[in-house]
Amino acid sequence: MYGIWGFILSLFLLLIFLDFRLSYINDSNSPDRKRQLSIFMLRVFAYAFIFVAFPMNLLIFDKGSSAEMLSFSDKMILSSFILVMLNAGSLIPYLSQRNIAQFFKLKDVLIYNIGMIVCMLVLLYLGVSQYVAPAIAGLLSSFGFLKKMLDAWNHIDEYFDIKGKRIYEMF
């Protein structure tokens, strides 16, 4: 358990280091886009590991054994964790773009996340399983958000000049 918490703490320290490095890059007259891209990608991976490792750590080490039966409140907590991981799909790129460029808008991310929560609560009220409701809510609320997400990724391609390039050519 302490290993996972140490890993999460080291990821937060990496994010702090990347912020200092990015401020140094942005202070120059012409910021290096390749370094900004590498910082953006490192932030995406760090936030992804944090958003997955933290809930899984609480879920796995809180119960002690996967053979135990989960109560209704534990099932609700599990469905909330599934929802958090689905919401992280929109939140991670928004957090990673900080101090680089405005690819994703906070309004779009909030509409997606609130829409997903409302959809999940309606599905739970209608009697859908606690495991299936977050997945259905994520699927239903992603239809409107997907086009905005694709437009934002196209803007990222243009900003970093990586459209049609292989990974080794990007960096």
How far apart are alpha carbons 38 and 113 in whole angstroms?
A: 27
Instruction: State the residue for tokens 């958003």.
Output: 51
- The encoded tokens of residue 100 equal 């680089």
Cβ count near 3 (within 10 Å):
8
pLDDT of residue 67: 44
pLDDT of residue 131: 73
- The torsion region of residue 99 among left (phi > 0), alpha (psi -120 to 50) and beta comes to left
pLDDT of residue 136: 83
Q: Which of 51-60, 62-71, 82-91, 120-129 has the highest mean pLDDT?
A: 120-129
User: Of 88, 101, 81, 135, which Cα lies nearest the Cα of 22?
Assistant: 101
pLDDT of residue 168: 66
The more confidently predicted of residues 142 and 66 is 142
Instruction: Provide the residue ranges of all domains of the chain, joining segments of one domain with +.
Output: 2-170
The string of pLDDT tens digits covering residues 126-158 is 888 777 887 788 778 777 777 777 888 888 888
pLDDT of residue 167: 67
Q: To the nearest whole number, what is the mean pLDDT of the chain?
A: 78
pLDDT of residue 58: 65
Question: What confidence category does residue 169 fall into, taking pLDDT thresholds of 50, 70 and 90?
Answer: low
Mean pLDDT, range 74-81, rounded to an integer = 69
